[in-house]
Amino acid sequence: MSSGRGPDQTKGQSGIFRAALLGLCPQCGERTLFEAPARVALKCTHCGIDLGELERGGRFAGVLTALVAIILIMIAYGIEETVRPPLWLQAVVWAPLTVGIVIFALRLFKTTLLHASYENREDQGE
């Protein structure tokens, strides 16, 4: 299905969203970037690029997770104040939504970071 598509397809803003959703390697474009929903693999199993080295800024991901969680909690409080939905409904809606948004935010953050540091390395002519 990915035949005829080079890594150039993952560049640009919509490309980053696609790369984050599918977990595309910045070098070969295979779905090897994540070994768990929000954990970057150490190496690409397809082309062997050192993903751990590209992910050096990943420690900031924890800060991002906390920020997303705080924003969601504030939104949840706002809804509770205005609508007052029953507690079971909030649990049903917010638990999976929070997990999903946090995981996607992490993936987007890490994918953007990895692709940016990969392109920087390319520019420096390595």
Minimum separation from the CB atom of position 56 to Zn ion (A): 18
Closest CA to 33 of 7, 13, 68, 64: 7
User: By CB under 5 A, what part of segment 13-32 binds Zn ion?
Assistant: 25, 27-28
- Name which of 26 and 105 has its Cβ closer to Zn ion: 26
What is the C-alpha separation between 4 and 48, in angstroms, rounded?
21
Q: Does 102 bind Zn ion (CB under 5 A)?
A: no
What is the C-alpha separation between 121 and 62, in angstroms, rounded?
24
- Name which of 48 and 78 has its Cβ closer to Zn ion: 48
CA-CA-CA-CA dihedral for 18, 57, 66, 93, to nearest 10:
20
Minimum separation from the CB atom of position 2 to Zn ion (A): 12
Number of residues that bind Zn ion (CB under 5 A): 6
